[in-house]
Amino acid sequence: MNAIIFSAGWGIIMMFCSFLVKNQSSYRHIAAVGLLVLLAANIFDTYGVDFFHIDSGKMLAYTRFGFVFNSIAIASTLIYVLLTGRDIERLGRYTAEFFTLVFFVLCGVCLLSAYNNLLMLFLGIEILTIPLYILTGSDKRNLKSNEAALKYFLMGSFSTGLMLMGIALMYGGTGTFLLESSRLQSNLYHGISFLEIVGLLFLLASMCFKVSAAPFHFWTPDVYDGAPSVVTSFMATIVKVAGFIAFLKLCTVRMSVTSTAIDWKLIFSIIIILTLLFGNITAIFQQSVKRMLAYSSISQAGFMLFALFSMNEYASKGLLMYSVAYCLATIGLFAVLVKMKDVTFEGYNGLAKTQPVLAATNAIFLFSLAGIPLTAGFLAKYYMLASIIKTGTYTWVVVAGVLFAAISVYYYFRVIQAMYFKNGEPQMESFGRSFKLGLVVLAAIIIIVGAFPQALFNWLYF
């Protein structure tokens, strides 16, 4: 509860700051402090110190897994703010409002990690997405940004409609909004109400939309590409992973149907393969690193979907690992990307000569995304693949996953190739030494988590 209330509260504080504090550059400091407070509050909550005793009436259920994920999300946001805070300021006059919306999004994230009621799920998703519509269009004078916001809003509304329809049908099938519900014994199809199945399918489609899984991913490249890079960075990482956490909960509780005749594995395997296919194959031909990263986020989503497929302990651990590896690496890549004046592959030519630290850290982030050993990304992929192998079925999905991971190396390493093996004079915005230091720390975290994954997992238990 701490995190939900603190994030909402600090969001309101940020709103007031916009007219109480005149100095533009102090907003990001206030935001950073707010995130630290939020992180502390969440850690307190993790160890049982709850500042607000509110009876949510089974609407929310807190788990250690959820708390750990909250911490990861908040810490990632903190890193995001520290690395790209200056670039957010360059976006326009409404910096304080920008941070306000970030805090509201975090509020939605915290709700999604704790929901126990389909209405709470809906609420969390909406709190998460509505600020994003605004953030996408935050570069008001840029037509592309406006177009992206409008597209996102239109399709998002459609998916919201689907979700509500699904929840309504499930209510009709089970008579309750609670996630863990006893099933009514009427109109049964292999032990499940027919209405519930249709509802779940609609819910599945809309959740797939949120995490940009194919074939509901069409908005992703357009929106990620059109939105300001700083927003894309946030959207593609923390928001997307939060969607997965919510999705995982939905799956483990509602879709792990015990009846032998129905399971969702076939549907999920179709979605996984389509997502990997669209994400990886389309990424290959992109000329812009930003758009490539948009497709890469789809392909990474394909790997995270593995967890929803297998729904075992490997899956939940792996998803946690994946969220750390994916968020940090992508935030780092975007932090450098927003400094680039030219975000095509050519723009990166010769970066290793002019900015060796940036190039080296960028290379580590890309290694992690590609799943090269010794980085967190490798272990994350390993856990994902292992989780399916543990289920003992659908081994071909694993084979396909490995093949697509190999394809992904191609477009990730194109960036490394441009940085290290091509000649050019990359044009960049100015940045300080602390920025470089931040990137180095980020790269170090990725390698440390990759080398000592237990440091992360132990947190789930102790």
Partner 1 sequence: MAYLVPLFPLIGFLLNGVFRNSLSKGLVGIIGCGAVLASFVVSVILFLDVRAGGALAVQPLYPFIHVANFKIDFVFQVDQLSSLFLLIITGIGFLIHLYSTSYMHDETNDHFARYFSYLNLFVFSMLLLVLGANYVIMFIGWEGVGLCSYLLIGYWFKNTDYNKAANKAFIMNRIGDAGFLLGIFWLLSKLGTANYTDVFANVSNLTPTDITGITLLLFIGAMGKSAQIPLYTWLPDAMAGPTPVSALIHAATMVTAGIYMVARSNALYSLSPIAENLVAVIGIATALFAATIAIKQNDIKKVLAYSTVSQLGYMFLGLGVGAYTGSVFHVMTHAFFKALLFLGAGSVIHALHHEQDMRNMGGLKKYMPVTHWTFLIACIAIAGIPPFSGFFSKDEILAAAYAKNPVYWVLGVIGAGMTAFYMFRLYATTFLGQFRGTEEQKHHLHESPAAITIPLIILALLAFGGGFFNVPAIFGGGQQLHHYLSPVLTAEHEHEIAHSTELMLMGVSVGVALLAAIIALTKYARKPELNEPEGLGKVLANKWYIDELYDNVIVNPLLALGGFFKNVIEKSGIDGFVNGVGGFIQYSSRRLRLVQNGKVGTYILLMIFSILILWLAFWYQATITGFFQKIF
Rule CB under 8 A: which residues touch partner 1?
A: 151, 154-155, 158, 162, 197-198, 201-202, 204-205, 209, 215-216, 218-219, 221-222, 261-262, 264, 266-267, 270-271, 277-278, 281-285, 396, 407
Residue with tokens 């309101």: 12
d(CA 231, CA 65): 27
Closest contact distance (angstroms) between CB of 80 and partner 1 is: 27
Q: Which is nearer to partner 1, 126 or 222 (CB)?
A: 222
Q: Minimal distance in Å, beta carbon 298 to partner 1? A: 11
How many angstroms separate the CA atoms of 444 and 449, rounded?
A: 8
Q: State which residue, 112 or 200, has the beta carbon closest to partner 1.
A: 200
**Nearest residue (CB) to partner 1, 111 versus 214:** 214
Min CB(335)–partner 1 separation in Å? 26
Rank residues 69 and 295 by Cβ distance to partner 1 and give the closer one: 295
Taking the complex as a whole, how short is the minimal distance between the CB of residue 336 and partner 1, in angstroms?
25
State in angstroms the smallest separation of the CB of 1 from partner 1.
36
Distances (CA, A) of 442 to 206, 300, 325, 360, 438: 33, 19, 10, 12, 6
Residue 178: strand pairing partners = 117
| d(C-alpha 346, C-alpha 363), whole Å | 16
Give the other-Cβ count within 10 Å of 107's Cβ. 24
Whether the bond between 131 and the residue before it is cis, its omega within 30 degrees of 0, is no
Of 300 and 408, CB closest to partner 1: 408
> HSE on the CB side for 338, CA within 13 Å?
25
Structure tokens at 114: 């704790």
CB of 179 to partner 1, least distance (A): 21
Please list the alpha-helical segments (H only) found in 311-394: 313-337, 351-354, 356-370, 376-391
Nearer Cβ to partner 1, position 105 or 305?
305
Question: Whole-number minimum distance, CB 282 to partner 1, in Å?
Answer: 5
Shortest distance, CB of residue 169 to partner 1, whole angstroms?
13
| Look-up of token digits 């669209």 | 278
The answer to whether the bond into 221 is cis (omega within 30° of 0) is no
Nearer to partner 1 by C-beta: 17 or 213? 213
Q: Which is nearer to partner 1, 151 or 422 (CB)?
A: 151
Residue 415 CB-half CA count within 13 A: 31
DSSP strand pairing (188-189 vs 192-193): antiparallel
d(CA 161, CA 265): 25
